[in-house]
Amino acid sequence: MSPHAVSSALIIEERKIQKHVYYTSRALRKAKGRYPMMEKLAFALVISSSKLRHYFQAHVINILTNHPLKKAMNKLEVTGRLIQWAIELSEFDIKYQLRSAIKAQTLADFIAEFTLNHGELDEVDEAKKWVVYVDGSSTQYAGGIGVVLKSPERDKLKYATCLQYQTTNNEVKYEALLKGLELAKSLRAESIVVQGDFQLAMGQVYGTCEIKEERMKKYLSKMKRLLKKFKEASFLQVPREENMEANALAKTISADGSVDEYDKVQYMPSIDLLEVQQIEEREN
């Protein structure tokens, strides 16, 4: 939570391993930005239950927080928004637990921090969201990026890029994520849901996995800059079989590294392009 945004991270823990399922944030308009802290927390929970209703209906939901949210919503004298939200949430099996050192909290804090403060702007209508499917594929000598963008009108735009350099599987996932964000912004999308199989990459971006390599830190920095350009951004981790179009684009173009005149080609990692441009400008 931040003064201008609320966020949440849905995780499943199996054998002490945290697996991220959904990430979401909501920028607060001027009026909502003045909510007391406890109302902001309750609002974040209501937003999550709405977006992830099928999860809330099918499972016991453990809410991890360091704030007395349950006590605040169950007070006899509670009125207004809190009582309304308490009634809405009563249909679900929700348990409240004291939050310990849970790594996934870093993710929610990150999203809240980098969600823009939109002041008087209206909240983005759910029907106006773009869905961005991304995937990346790497071979011994090349890589490929596949992006499928679905507009609010359900039109589809497909994009593939051949990475004509040696790359790792983790780096190509980052490149796919970055390209998806760049394309969405170029189409003037304001609210997006990014879907893909990028568990490790997103874990590193949001701090649930330690980043030691300097190159990964550069990807992190670029991801932060891009996310700040959207009014609302959510990330949905999906298995590869639910992301077949983007996966097929990435695999096809990376199959043997050969391209024709109509294929888009990238000759170096995106994080190195700016450095090269700066060097050229200094030389000129």
| CATH architecture, domain 126-283 | 2-Layer Sandwich (3.30)
Same fold, 5-113 and 126-283: yes
Of 74-88, 111-125, 174-188, 199-213, the one with minimum mean pLDDT is 111-125
- On average, the pLDDT of the chain sits at 77
Tokens of 62: 């453990």
pLDDT of residue 104: 46
pLDDT band, residue 117 (cuts 50/70/90): very low
pLDDT > 90 in the chain, percent:
14
Query: 28-83: per-residue pLDDT in tens?
Result: 766 777 888 888 888 888 888 888 888 888 889 888 877 788 877 777 566 678 88
pLDDT of residue 184: 94
Residue 211 pLDDT exceeds 50 = yes
Query: 120-134: per-residue pLDDT in tens?
Result: 334 445 568 899 999
Residue spans of the domains in the chain: they are: 5-113, 126-283
The pLDDT of 246-275, averaged and rounded, is 76
Considering only residues 67 and 88, tell me which one the structure prediction assigns the higher pLDDT.
88
Q: How far is CA 133 from CA 16, 34, 103, 203, 234, in A?
A: 29, 35, 26, 18, 12
Helix residue ranges, H only, the chain: 30-33, 37-51, 53-58, 69-74, 80-89, 104-113, 169-186, 199-205, 214-227, 244-254, 270-283
CA distance 49 to 55: 8
pLDDT of residue 40: 86
Query: 8-26: per-residue pLDDT in tens?
Result: 777 777 776 666 667 666 7
Tokens of 20: 């991220």
Tokens of 241: 């079989």
DSSP string, 25-73: EEEPPHHHHTS-HHHHHHHHHHHHHHHTHHHHHHS-EEEEESS-HHHHH
Q: How far is CA 155 from CA 134, 195, 274, in A?
A: 16, 17, 32
Of 6-20, 83-97, 178-192, the one with minimum mean pLDDT is 6-20
The pLDDT of 216-230, averaged and rounded, is 84
pLDDT band, residue 148 (cuts 50/70/90): very high
Asked if the 5-113 domain carries CATH number 2.60.40, the reply is: no
Which DSSP symbol is given to 120?
Answer: T
pLDDT of residue 203: 62
pLDDT of residue 122: 43
Which DSSP symbol is given to 128?
Answer: G
